[in-house]
Copies of this chain bind each other. A is one copy, B any other.
Amino acid sequence: MATIHDVALDAQVSPTTVSRYINNRIELPASTAARIDAAIAKLDYRPNLLAKRLSTGRTEAIGLVAPEIREPFFAELASAVEDEADRHGYTIFMSSTRSDRQREIASLNRLHDRHVDGLIMMTNTPDDGTLAALIGKRRNVVVIDEDIPGVMVPRVFVENHIGAYKATRYLIEAGHERIGYIGGPDGLYTVRERRAGYLQAMKEANLKVRAEHLAGGSFMPDFARKATLEFLKTRTPPTAILASSDFIAIGVLQGLKQAEIKVPSQMSVVGFDDMPLTELFNPPLTAIRQPIEALGRQGFQVLFSLLSGKQPRCLPCCQCN
């Protein structure tokens, strides 16, 4: 393969000049430029990325770390991030951590090892501080979707509180008074926020929140299925259930199917996240749509400005200090 030296030789200039010319760091008289262009074309020269990276210290790649890319939410998000990255000349490395702390740490190490220039990080397992501490030692990390308490890096979230509030209002306005709620694992920011949104809407409508109609602890459909069956066993079961994620909603639907409760005639169900095709489910699922695409693009843009040395703009969704 041709190197920059070969091109320089052919164009009768020095490698320095060629390098500067192709990186737009110099303006050359037309004749010189033409010679270089011709040499590049003739030799089919393509700069060796590896050499370029070593000498600049940048890879023009970023990492996207998610618990599981198989899940529609993340796949959708990844797609948006990739598109936005592409637009800025960046490529992305994806990794599925399967909620494994070791894999999350491995991603951060890859950042340290200059595998990538920056990281967009998602995690859904509560952190005891290890992760936050490690992130604190790295530069160019952006946390999205779910908070990691104590990290001092830019973060981008969806309006979880408002989303859950609106979903609850929707059920209240439909006339429901006993609305059950099933949330996710304890210790997660999004879980707390959504729950708070639900509670606020209930309180504002002067509706009683019964402890036996509140559940939480896991995102697994099966957990939600069991919780739903518990709800149904109570003396006055709820007439609607707010599920704080689509996976939970799926569990709820399974539980209701098992108990032969018709949706929506006997029970209303509203989900949260956003999974394509849930409208084909039996019964179709109503859900609060999350702006996944915007989340992904915003996440990239914040990271991008970090990488460009710019202070990221303090957007409403990002709690800078």
> Which A residues have a C-beta under 8 Å from some C-beta of B?
46-51, 53-54, 57, 59, 61, 68-72, 75-76, 78-79, 82-83, 91-96, 109-110, 112-115, 250, 253-254, 276-277, 280-284
Option from B71, B96, B250 in Cβ contact (under 8 Å) with A280: B250
A19 to chain B, nearest CB (A): 16
A158 to chain B, nearest CB (A): 18
Interface of A is mostly: mixed
A64 to chain B, nearest CB (A): 9
Q: In the assembly, what is the distance between CA of A112 and CA of B2, in Å?
A: 12
Q: In the assembly, what is the distance between CA of A96 and CA of B61, in Å?
A: 15
Option from B49, B82, B254, B283 in Cβ contact (under 8 Å) with A96: B82
Q: In the assembly, what is the distance between CA of A48 and CA of B113, in Å?
A: 6
Identify the 8 closest CB pairs spanning chains A and B, nearest first.
A282-B282, A75-B75, A50-B54, A54-B54, A70-B79, A280-B281, A70-B75, A50-B53
- Identical copies of this chain, number: 2
Contacts of A95 in B (CB 8 A): 82, 91
| Residue contact B92 to A94, C-beta cutoff 8 Å | yes
| Residue contact B114 to A48, C-beta cutoff 8 Å | yes
| Residue contact B46 to A57, C-beta cutoff 8 Å | no
Q: In the assembly, what is the distance between CA of A91 and CA of B116, in Å?
A: 12
Q: In the assembly, what is the distance between CA of A110 and CA of B91, in Å?
A: 10
Contacts of A68 in B (CB 8 A): 79
